[in-house]
């Protein structure tokens, strides 16, 4: 503080200006990164919801039944629609300002098709498994706006940054194939060589 007091007023102002220049943007970057992670998490939430209904279908519908086949077909369609939408978002991130998702009719069509397909799958599984229809879940309809938000976060970044963000977006939000989603059952413990299978919770509860 004593050195600042002895300095000329102009130097003090320049010092303070430099401090502001180098600290304010850091907070802005942290906030922007936090918003981007939140947007991505919401997109992943839609994927997780769809995956959970695959598990519900596998648990409630008999293997080889028409109900299970129908559910698998609907999920495959929704997954394909998601892949089409996500690839479009990823390509738009690479292009930056050369494509404007917020006014792009092709993007609106892809987002709408995804919403309808995903909602049809979820509603079919819920209705067939529970005997009653399910209220429309807004999480799939929200993907349209979330894609625009995610794209907008990177339009002013460098080419290298946009390329990395585009790759990460696809890798971290892609929907798994039907066969990759577990059915929720707990596998039977495998006996060790020359030994016996470890006791299950039910066997432990039985009296000797």
Q: How many domains does the chain have?
A: 1
In angstroms, the CA 35 to CA 32 distance is 5
Residues 68-91 have pLDDT tens digits of 999 999 999 999 999 999 999 999
In angstroms, the CA 169 to CA 87 distance is 9
Residues 23-38 have pLDDT tens digits of 334 333 444 566 889 9
- The CA distances from residue 63 to 45, 67, 183, in Å, are 27, 9, 11
In the prediction, which pLDDT does 136 show? 75
Asked, for residue 125, whether it belongs to a domain, the answer is yes
Asked, for residue 87, whether it belongs to a domain, the answer is yes
Asked, for residue 170, whether it belongs to a domain, the answer is yes
In angstroms, the CA 180 to CA 162 distance is 29
CA atoms within 13 A on the CB side of 165: 25
Asked, for residue 120, whether it belongs to a domain, the answer is yes
pTM: predicted TM-score of the whole model, two decimal places: 0.74
Asked, for residue 205, whether it belongs to a domain, the answer is no
Q: Which domain holds residue 60?
A: 36-181
Asked, for residue 21, whether it belongs to a domain, the answer is no
Asked, for residue 207, whether it belongs to a domain, the answer is no
Asked, for residue 4, whether it belongs to a domain, the answer is no
In the prediction, which pLDDT does 134 show? 76
Residues 10-67 have pLDDT tens digits of 444 333 333 333 333 433 344 456 688 999 999 999 999 999 999 999 999 999 999 9
* Contact in structure between 84 and 110 (CB atoms under 8 Å): yes
Burial of 43 (0-12, 13-18, 19+ CB in 10 A): buried
């Amino acid at each position: 503080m004593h050195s600042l007091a002895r300095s000329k007023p102009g130097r003090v102002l320049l010092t303070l200006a430099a401090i502001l220049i180098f600290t304010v943007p850091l907070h802005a970057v942290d906030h922007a990164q936090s918003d981007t992670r939140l947007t991505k998490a919401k997109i992943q939430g839609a994927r997780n919801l769809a995956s959970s209904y695959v598990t519900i279908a596998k648990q409630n519908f008999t293997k080889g039944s028409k109900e299970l086949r129908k559910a698998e077909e609907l999920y495959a369609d929704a997954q394909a629609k998601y892949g089409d939408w996500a690839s479009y978002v990823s390509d738009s991130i690479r292009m930056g300002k050369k494509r404007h998702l917020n006014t792009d009719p092709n993007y609106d069509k892809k987002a709408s098709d995804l919403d309808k397909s995903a909602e049809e799958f979820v509603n079919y599984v819920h209705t067939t498994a529970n005997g009653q229809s399910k209220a429309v879940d807004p999480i799939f309809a929200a993907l349209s706006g979330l894609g625009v938000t995610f794209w907008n976060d990177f339009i002013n970044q460098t080419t290298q940054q946009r390329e990395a963000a585009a790759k990460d977006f696809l890798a971290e939000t892609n929907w798994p194939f039907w066969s990759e989603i577990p059915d929720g059952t707990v596998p039977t413990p495998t006996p060790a060589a020359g030994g016996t299978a470890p006791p299950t919770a039910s066997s432990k509860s039985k009296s000797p």
